Amino acid sequence: MEGLLDHSLRDVITQVGGVDRCVSEFIRITDQLLPERVFTRIVPELLNGGRTAAGVPVRPQLLGSDPDCLADNAARLATLGPEGVDLNFGCPAKTVNRHRGGAVLLDEPELVFRIVRAVRRAVPAQLPVSAKMRLGTSDSSRLLANAQAIVDGGADELVVHARTKAHGYRPPAYWEQIAEVRTAVPIPVVANGEVWTAADAERCLAVSGCDAIMLGRGIVADPGLALALRGQRWSGWPALLPLLSRYWQRVALHVEPRHRPGRLKQWLNLLRRRFDAAQAAYESVRTLTTVDQVDAWLLAETEAQRLLYRAATPSQVSSGDGSSRSASQLAR
């Protein structure tokens, strides 16, 4: 999710918990060997043992169409200590596809094979190589051919987004077609696409036959979704407000001031799918254009939350049914 789910948001979401592994936004490979600083700029977790501050491994993702150039860059990336290398055959963006990257490569299963094989041969045998693909470009007629090409190239894992390039992100996702891949290939297959709730995840796993899910927009809209899939509860908006502040502070380290408010608005726009309070927050922030304005809004929101918590009393409050619960329990 280029331009939103970068290392700043990975940091925040993995603080909530429940995530086993992250995949970075794509690193575009064209016709040159990138310097190490490009990899560490996009995936600064490489400077922390390849993990977020919460200890969750991050697998950098490469995007391109030149097998040899991708292999050279994968070899350099491998020297930086990543948890693995991921290959992008799923991006539907027109700009990316015009430059022969992402999902458009699914029209050429032989090229997909050569890319995976070149990268697999270029990195140490113990380093996992994974790939993400869609069902196809305009249709899914080459679905199994591409999946087999990825397997034959030596990939250790395959993520399938259950839509074609032409579908974009329009619902529904066709999870039943992931099941075709799952039964046809011997490597682990991970399901992806249109999972917004724990109930969606249950249906996706049942229909696809997979035992793992990759979350995209769903976990951005609900950072507690991974916990929910594990049957764990999260306090939601009250716990999210400090994370909004953490995100804002991290964005300040690498985004120009004039673009920072837009980043926060992007996230709040998705959060309002899940949280009623996020709708009001989005409306408050929508017209803000400067860093100082957002700083003032966050300070006011934090103070309001603190006062609300104090009003619930620091000890016990009546629940109205003859029992009592602590303020922290009420917050849930």
91 counts as catalytic? yes
For 295, other C-beta atoms within 10 Å of its C-beta total: 15
- 60 close to 77: Cβ distance less than 8 angstroms: yes
Prior bond to 188 cis, omega within 30? no
Rg (CA), the chain: 21
User: What DSSP state is assigned to residue 226?
Assistant: H
Q: How many CA atoms lie within 13 A of 117 on its CB side?
A: 10
Scanning the chain, the segments in alpha helix (DSSP H) are 7-16, 36-42, 67-78, 94-98, 109-122, 143-153, 175-184, 198-208, 217-221, 225-229, 237-251, 260-271, 276-285, 291-311, 327-331
**Cα gap 95→3, rounded to integer Å:** 14
Catalytic residue among 22, 69, 91, 204: 91
Residue given tokens 């963006």 in the structure block: 93
For 221, other C-beta atoms within 10 Å of its C-beta total: 20
Q: How many helices (H) and strands (E) does the chain have?
A: 15, 9
Residues identified as active-site: 91
